[in-house]
Chain A
């Protein structure tokens, strides 16, 4: 297991290196540069370029950037005067993380519950309801969901605030909106996984031992049915995280999404790069954790990895 984790960490680092390099190149290939949109005298422009090192060869810029990156320094933003990328992330990330975690928590807990309830009540009305919810959820994109929630809960019924992020009530609509697709997805996966497990021979063994219904569901069915869901937790986290960009802009939440979009529009090289690297590192870590987690819940994997 230890060796396996070490190997995974090395692969993760290599992935990040490739990511930074590709994004570094792509950013430079975009038409224009950070200063092209602003009116400034050639003199000012030249000073700025020297200040940011743009007068040097690209390779040297790349190496300088990597050198700083290793120390965790993402450099100064090119658009927000005198603010480092690290500072921007430190300020914005907590909002995104909070939103993302809430959405994930809702999606996974409610999704699993719906999946289990639905499978155990197969062909009964409650199953039909869960299936319909799942179909709706997986066919409606985040942003439409966001608007629909805003319209009904905020505007029509006036139950919940629809913008900003200043307390628990504010978090409800955006996290539900963000998590809904994933919730539906998880419930669908869990339902089919449970339906498969219900027919497994070991469930019959458990019945033959006189185990209670509740115990069979908890110890034999859910425990095994959840395995395939754990494998998709990595991609799910990624999709929720990217979803935050859209939801943040719909609900006017000052998270990473806002900065990310504007940084691309204004060609803020360092900010684009810095945020990409940050997200990349975050996702790679999430995947690593999920992988280790999978080894823990599925004993067969644990041994195979040695």
Chain B
């Protein structure tokens, strides 16, 4: 078995704030193999971005700090690295695509220069070479008339164009891994499809692994080999995309699938949002984080965290319903959102 490029083991990450400690990530484990597309899905605030930004140590520290666990990039713990080593990783080993190209691009810097900046201060790359590689990448992400566009400022480009620039920025250093944190949330549907297609296409051409963060299961269905479902700072279910959509094992995942609109399908279930609110991260519940909102919650769910059960083919779930003493329940059968998109 090849070595994982990103191997996260029981990672906990918190922020010290005036109100107390925000436990944003509470024991997350996942791995990314070379060339693979891994999806991380979950509601707003469940810790997706914080987890992802740990890979390049982009969370502000302080107030952020690692509470426990490890995050290995190519076998080395990123939390053991100094600022210099981290800088060498950023852009060159791991590229980041952020959510909103409007605010994540510098408004007073020409887009060409922003892409080239990945090479700034990097030994062995001349300015000339940086420039030509930036231009090459801008063309590759589908920007026409690069000579003119590179001299423009972000506000002169459309939303989709800006996101292409961001992707060029993430890719220009030829990283082995791209982390795309909700790359299409701020774009409209047609542009979203184009951007996803572009990412998929580039992955094939360049062999880059992708971690795709989203709260849109449709995006996951279209792109990902494997999926991690996060809730309240934890991974509650993981497995191949098929497992998640067709052999759903966690009530929260079932709820997520139930809240996705499926048009033009023969699926006539009622569309239903998950009731209630996510857990308070200042004092997370001792048991299953989903207990307060779960239709199947038992007493044990509120008292102790559910162990992780291994199902067939790498499919895993953290839910007490799998315990041998639990009464067997049938989660409502869901249609995968794939059919809709």
Q: Of the 9-residue stretches A94-102, A167-175, A204-212, which lies at the interface with chain B?
A: A204-212
Rounded to whole Å, the gap between the CB of B198 and the closest CB of chain A is: 19
Rounded to whole Å, the gap between the CB of B79 and the closest CB of chain A is: 16
Of B90, B100, B107, the residue contacting A209 (CB under 8 A) is: B90
Of B89, B91, B109, B155, the residue contacting A303 (CB under 8 A) is: B155
Of A200, A209, A210, the residue contacting B103 (CB under 8 A) is: A200
Interface residue? B88 (CB, 8 A):
yes
* B residues near A227, Cβ cutoff 8 Å: 108
Rounded to whole Å, the gap between the CB of B121 and the closest CB of chain A is: 5
Q: Which residue of A lies closest to B155 (CB)?
A: A300
Rounded to whole Å, the gap between the CB of A210 and the closest CB of chain B is: 4
Q: How many residues of A contact B (CB 8 A)?
A: 23
Interface residue? B153 (CB, 8 A):
yes
- In the assembled complex, the Cα of A180 lies from the Cα of B19 at a distance in Å of 40
Interface residue? B320 (CB, 8 A):
no
CB-contacts of B50-95 with A (<8 A): 56, 58, 87-92, 95
Interface residue? B96 (CB, 8 A):
yes
Q: Of the 9-residue stretches A70-78, A133-141, A216-224, A262-270, which lies at the interface with chain B?
A: A216-224
A299 and B117 contact, CB distance less than 8 A? no
Interface residue? A202 (CB, 8 A):
yes
Q: Which residue of B lies closest to A212 (CB)?
A: B121
Q: Which residue of B lies closest to A205 (CB)?
A: B104
Q: How many residues of B contact A (CB 8 A)?
A: 31
B87 and A202 contact, CB distance less than 8 A? no
- In the assembled complex, the Cα of A208 lies from the Cα of B58 at a distance in Å of 7
Rounded to whole Å, the gap between the CB of B159 and the closest CB of chain A is: 15
B169 and A209 contact, CB distance less than 8 A? yes
* B residues near A298, Cβ cutoff 8 Å: 108
B117 and A207 contact, CB distance less than 8 A? no
Rounded to whole Å, the gap between the CB of A132 and the closest CB of chain B is: 24
- List 21 A-B pairs, Cβ < 8 Å: A200-B103, A201-B100, A201-B104, A204-B104, A205-B96, A205-B105, A205-B106, A205-B166, A208-B90, A209-B91, A209-B117, A209-B169, A210-B92, A210-B122, A219-B106, A220-B106, A223-B108, A223-B109, A227-B108, A300-B155, A303-B155
- Residues in chain A within 8 A of chain B (CB atoms): 200-202, 204-212, 215, 219-220, 223-224, 227, 297-300, 303
